[in-house]
Structure 1
Amino acid sequence: MHVPDGFINAPVSVAAGVAAAAAVAVSLRGARRELDERTAPLAGLVAAFIFAVQMLNFPVAAGTSGHLMGGALAAILVGPYTGVLCVSVVLLMQGILFADGGLTALGVNITVMGVVTVVTAHLVFRGLLGILPRTRRSVTVAGFAAALLSVPAAAAAFTAVYAVGGTTDVPLGKVLTAMVGVHVLIGIGEALITTATVGAVIAVRPDLVHGARGLATPLKLRVDGELVDAPAAAATAPAAGRSTKKVWATGLVTALVLAGFVSFYASADPDGLEKVAADKGIDRNVEEHAAAGSPLADYGVKDVEDARLSGGLAGVIGVGVTVVAGTGIFWAVRRRTTDAPAATATSTPVA
């Protein structure tokens, strides 16, 4: 759902840009509560993974495809504030390097694909966790619903923006029906990808999933013959001390394989917004992208004739640039922590 230049007029594009900048500023402050030295590199990896999976368009209807937006996935894995930043980094890289999503429409894209999806997913996810049993399965169930609903919410948000600043005269009722209808189908794919990814991470490292924090059974200590709950620091120390290098390396290799190889087999059909825009006439005033001459425009490397090699190289470069940019940003805004001296205890932990 990358909005190109020319869909939305200048005043509304500027207003959306201001709103997006404000959301990013708030998220930069909020991300300090979600990130530390251990999780900041993982947030950069989440951004790179979203970039890679967005290259994998999947068919949803005759002549229409969809791709991951990633707002729900990011919100669950690294938190809502960091999630907004993850999607924003991806959209910035796509717009500047790959001519995907208009530069004048960057504010619209961040607002619709970043803020709306993350906020919707976070509210749905937390609401469901509040009524479901506190189990790992509840996290995946809530994640499925959150991802599913976040996509049509973004479609409705785009329609609202178009109603105010659209550059063509199109019946809004038909646009809304078409946008929400096709993006409900895309939302099913989003939900499946989100659930599979969150489930895979929970299976190996539940302590790294922001949305799964607090689900572990409290550690018990035997004191004077009685079992008591261990202090929070003692209960979480084993998880906090575990290295994240293996998870980071596995995730990075997965992203590189998806972007560098699997992306060649992605659907070539237009995505939901492109299809609706063509059918309803929204794209009559579309403008050529300012970065159309970029060496990586349209996810291919300029002057590389082989389509498989060109697309694969572009995907690998995109993953690399995104993980470096994302990790740098998240490392800069992380919460600084100091390692407290390890306390000695004479009590024996009991499972």
Structure 2
Amino acid sequence: MHVPDGFLNAPVSVATGAVAAAAVAVSLRGARRELAGDAEGSGLGAERTAPLAGLVAAFVFAVQMLNFPVAAGTSGHLLGGALAAILVGPYTGVLCVSVVLLMQGLLFADGGLSALGTNILLMGVVTVVVAYALFRGLLRVLPAGRGSVGVATFVAALVSVPASAIAFTGLYAIGGTADVSIGKVFAAMAGVHVLIGIGEAAITTATVGAVLAVRPDLVHGAADAVRTTLVVRTPAGAPARPATPEPAPAGAPARGSLRPLWLGGLGVTVVCAAFVSFYASASPDGLEKVATDEGIIEEAREHDLADSPLADYGVRDLDNERLSIALAGSAGVAVTLAAGTATFLALRRRGSGASAPDGEPQRA
């Protein structure tokens, strides 16, 4: 779904860049509140909430390398907007996907540089807004519980992918550089991306479910849907009262520790990027396949960084393909994790609501 340079004309590319920049600016402010709110609600500090969001960005990067077949000669990959929004919040989710797209464009020549704003808008903003709105809406009408979270996650992730594809078709109708039938482009993009959406939904639901199973308090979008209150039984006629948590046993991890989840998540991320990615489908993804079939691909321009050392997710001049992919994937995870964590740490510290000596909150 990465749009290359040349698909859209300059005015539309500039306009999508401006909209994407505005969305990122809004998300920077919103992410401060999300990160600060999560830390206050779970007892976690900035040093823990920010690395969690950074890990989500790295995981999205890694899983985007895993193209899966969806039809004859066509593949798809995770977009990640729904996953990021549900796990760490919509504003932080937009930033997670934006960090991924920036690293992909600059280091791996994936997605055009002049189309960076377009890709952030389609893969970061549209997917997050559609998925999170649908997810929260479904949770309001479904009974509370983890099963409902799974259903809402699946539907939200599935719908977010064709929504992004339809948004691209709309942009192409306004500023496409090839003379093609928009009706055919719409039908082809919507059809293939519904199939890709099923894969997106399966990956997203499995990931959110795994986090729910071990740390439900860390799933931002479902905090109120899975929250339970433990009540102590009292004699008849006496009011019930909340139970007082028992102290943790000596030597046990501190309450709210993210270390086991973070290390486990990082391990899965590295395995996906460095090893599983070797077996990814080599077929063109949905956008590339439609562009080829409809004659749009002829307008694509070569990436300005096509000769970079890690272009196309391999190490230049390294003949061992398996090792080349493993090193490039590992480097991408490391850089994305570092960039994401640094960004979210800075935001979390600015939005931490530190108090002045007299107890009044400091002004930003």
TM-score (structure 2 length as normaliser): 0.89
- SS of the residue 2:307 aligns to: coil
Distance 2:110 2:207 in 1: 25
The alignment of Structure 1 onto Structure 2 pairs a total of residues equal to 335
1:87 aligns with 2:97: yes
Q: Note the alpha carbon deviations across 1:86-132, whole angstroms, 9 max, x for none.
A: 00000000000000000000000000011000000011101100000
In the other structure, the counterpart of 1:115 is 125
Q: Which runs of 5+ in 2 are unaligned?
A: 37-45, 356-364
Specify the alignment match of 1:314 in structure 2: 328
1:336 aligns with 2:346: no
Counterpart AA for 2:286: G
Which residue identity is paired with 2:228?
T
- Could you tell me which runs of 5 or more consecutive residues in structure 1 were left unpaired when the two chains were aligned: 340-351
Asked if 2 retains the 8 angstrom alpha-carbon contact of 1:139 and 1:211, the reply is: no
2:294 pairs with 1:294:
no
1:11 aligns with 2:33: no
Q: 1:52 maps to which residue? A: 62
State which of 240, 260, 264 in structure 2 corresponds to 1:227: 240
CA 1:279–1:240 in 2, change beyond 3 Å: closer, same or farther? farther
Match of 1:216 among 215, 220, 227: 227
- Give a deviation string over 1:52-94, Cα, whole Å, max 9, x none: 0000000000000000000000011001010100000000000
**Structure 2 counterpart of 1:167:** 177
The structural deviation recorded for 1:223 is: 8.7
1:32 Cα deviation after fit = 1.1
Task: Determine helix, strand or coil for the equivalent of 2:240.
Answer: strand
- Does the Cα contact within 8 Å between 1:39 and 1:208 map onto a contact in 2? no
Amino acid at match of 1:7: F
Partner AA of 1:287 in structure 2: R
Q: Which of 154, 177, 186 is the equivalent residue of 2:187?
A: 177
**Do 1:78 and 1:209's aligned partners in 2 also have CA atoms closer than 8 Å?**
yes
Confirm whether residue 278 of structure 1 aligns to residue 292 of structure 2.
yes
Counterpart contact for 1:90–1:322, Cα < 8 Å: yes
Distance 2:230 2:27 in 1: 33
* TM superposition shift of 1:241: 3.5
CA deviation string 1:222-243 (max 9, x = no partner): 799421357xxx88x9999320
The match for 1:2 is 2
Counterpart amino acid of 1:266?
A
Offset from partner CA, 1:263-297 (integer Å, 9 cap, x none):
00000000000000000011121111011011000
- The whole-number CA distance in structure 1 between the counterparts of 2:254 and 2:119 is 36
Normalising by structure 1, report the TM-score: 0.92
Letter of the 1:29 counterpart? R
* 1:241-267 Cα deviation digits (max 9, x unpaired): 320011111111110000000000000
The whole-number CA distance in structure 2 between the counterparts of 1:242 and 1:82 is: 20
Deviations 1:190-227 (A, max 9, x none): 00000000001100110111122122212436799421
CA shift, 1:310, in A, is: 0.3
Aligned AA for 1:290?
Answer: D
- Paired residue secondary structure (2:177): coil
Q: Which residue of 2 aligns with 1:20?
A: 20
Within 1, Cα distance between the matches of 2:153 and 2:170?
Answer: 26
How far is the alpha carbon of 1:35 from its aligned partner? 0.8
Match of 1:63 among 73, 76, 91: 73
Aligned mates of 1:150, 1:257 — CA distance in 2 = 26
1:80·1:119 contact (CA, 8 Å) conserved in 2?
A: yes
Deviates further, 314-323 or 278-287: 278-287
2:269 matched to which residue of 1? 255
For 1:48 and 1:240, the matched residues in 2 are separated by 25
SS at structure 1 position matched to 2:282? coil
State how far apart, in whole Å, the 1-side matches of 2:145 and 2:201 are: 19
Give yes or no for the alignment of 1:35 onto 2:51.
no
| 3-state SS, counterpart of residue 109 of structure 2 | coil
2: distance between equivalents of 1:192 and 1:62? 20
Please say if 1:131 is aligned against 2:141: yes
List per-residue Cα deviations over 1:130-177 (Å, max 9, x = no partner): 000110111111000000000000000000111111111111000000
Question: Percent same amino acid at aligned positions?
Answer: 69
Q: What secondary structure, in the 3-state scheme, does the structure 1 residue paired with 2:192 have?
A: helix
Give the equivalent residue in structure 2 for 1:349: none
1:149 equivalent in alignment to 2:159: yes
How many Å separate the matches in 2 of 1:222 and 1:175? 62
Amino acid at match of 2:314: G
Are residues 1:264 and 2:278 paired? yes
